[in-house]
């Protein structure tokens, strides 16, 4: 074990409070309900969003909690798509269980290589998924192809240097440690006797993390390490008639004093709460 891995282990042990197992989102139903509970706040951050009587597409819907919230808030129709077939099947089950009378929501399993025959939409959404696609440019072009003239397209995400950008649960870990060190730490962590597996873990949990040294290859949820600077270029060179990138500050009252820093280039790569892309076709 190298010095950097030793320091990371000590940091987690001594500085971060251990997660209580009962508070972890361990099942698909838990995660689905968490998506439902947090959707109002999330969608309130999208400027000019109007769902009333609209045809809405969610690209990368996952387990469908956001999709169900959308369907319950005024659109004529919501179509939710994802390349993960098992998650689409589970989303249908969860939606039926919690929203048995919803008749304006359809889940569709799609592929990365071809546009599905599902028509055009008034609103197209990529919610917390842009950082997980192989090519942000290609997924925005896909969103453009599904949008009818005058439609609004949104993405929400965080930059790679955001405190949660590494998706490891350890704030800013990727600012101070290499991917190799972080992944070695994860392999050690999930092998400990007291580790409680989550819904994303393999059996055994270590199996998921074998053979990788770059967080881009994080199994089950690829990370492209997209930065705010790169998102600005996505907006600048997009094929939409108009596009705006909104770098939002923190909603937490204890952190709002930092929000002035979220307006400063370079510093905002680290200090921001959320990034919203807004486009008009």
Helical spans, DSSP H, in the chain: 3-14, 28-43, 65-71, 85-98, 136-146, 173-176, 179-190, 228-236
| 3-class secondary-structure state, position 231 | helix
**Spatial CA neighbour of 249 closest among 262, 268, 232:** 262
Backbone torsions φ then ψ of 3, nearest 5 degrees: -60, -40
Per-residue pLDDT 10s for the chain (281 aa) are 688 888 788 877 776 655 444 445 578 899 999 999 999 999 999 999 999 999 999 999 999 999 999 999 999 999 999 999 999 999 999 999 999 888 999 999 998 767 889 999 999 999 999 999 999 999 999 999 999 999 999 999 999 999 999 999 899 999 999 999 999 999 998 998 888 888 888 889 999 999 999 999 988 789 999 999 999 999 999 999 999 999 999 988 888 888 888 888 889 999 999 999 999 99
Question: What letters, b where the CB count within 10 A reaches 16 and e where it falls short, cover 251-277?
Answer: eeeeeeebeeebeeeeebbbbbbbbbb
Domains of the chain plus CATH, in order, are 29-161+223-280 (3.40.50.150)
Burial of 55 (0-12, 13-18, 19+ CB in 10 A): buried
Separation between Cα atoms, residue 135 and residue 82, nearest integer Å: 15
CB 199 within 8 A of CB 131: no
| 3-class secondary-structure state, position 248 | strand
Please tell me the predicted confidence (pLDDT) of residue 17: 55
Separation between Cα atoms, residue 63 and residue 86, nearest integer Å: 9
CB-based contacts of 244: which residues, under 8 Å, 6+ apart?
A: 47, 235, 277, 278, 279
Helical pair 228-236 and 136-146, crossing angle rounded to 10 deg: 40
Please tell me the predicted confidence (pLDDT) of residue 18: 52
CB 231 within 8 A of CB 275: yes
pTM of the model: 0.91
Please tell me the predicted confidence (pLDDT) of residue 16: 66
């Amino acid at each position: 074990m190298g010095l950097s891995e030793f320091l990371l282990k000590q940091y987690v042990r001594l500085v971060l409070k251990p997660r209580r197992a009962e508070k972890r989102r361990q099942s698909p139903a838990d995660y689905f309900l968490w998506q439902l509970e947090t959707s109002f706040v999330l969608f309130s951050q999208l400027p000019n969003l109007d769902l009333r009587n609209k045809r809405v597409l969610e690209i990368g819907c996952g387990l469908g909690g956001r999709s169900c919230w959308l369907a319950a808030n005024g659109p004529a129709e919501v179509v939710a798509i994802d390349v993960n077939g098992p998650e689409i099947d589970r989303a249908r089950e969860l939606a039926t269980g919690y929203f048995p009378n919803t008749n304006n929501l359809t889940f569709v399993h799609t592929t990365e290589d071809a546009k599905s025959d599902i028509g055009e939409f008034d609103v197209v959404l990529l919610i917390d998924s842009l950082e997980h696609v192989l090519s942000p440019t290609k997924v925005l072009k896909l969103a453009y192809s599904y949008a009818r003239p005058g439609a609004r397209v949104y993405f929400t995400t965080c930059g790679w240097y955001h405190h949660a950008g590494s998706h490891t649960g350890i704030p800013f870990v990727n600012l101070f440690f290499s991917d190799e060190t972080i992944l070695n730490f994860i392999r050690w962590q999930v092998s400990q006797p007291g580790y409680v597996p989550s819904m994303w873990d393999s059996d055994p949990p270590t199996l998921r993390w074998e053979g990788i040294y770059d967080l881009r290859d994080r199994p089950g949820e690829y990370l492209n390490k997209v930065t705010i600077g790169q998102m600005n270029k996505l907006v600048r060179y997009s094929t939409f008639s108009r596009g705006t990138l909104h770098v939002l500050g923190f909603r937490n009252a204890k952190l709002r004093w930092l929000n002035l820093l979220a307006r400063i280039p370079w510093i905002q790569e680290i200090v921001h709460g959320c990034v919203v892309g807004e486009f008009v076709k």
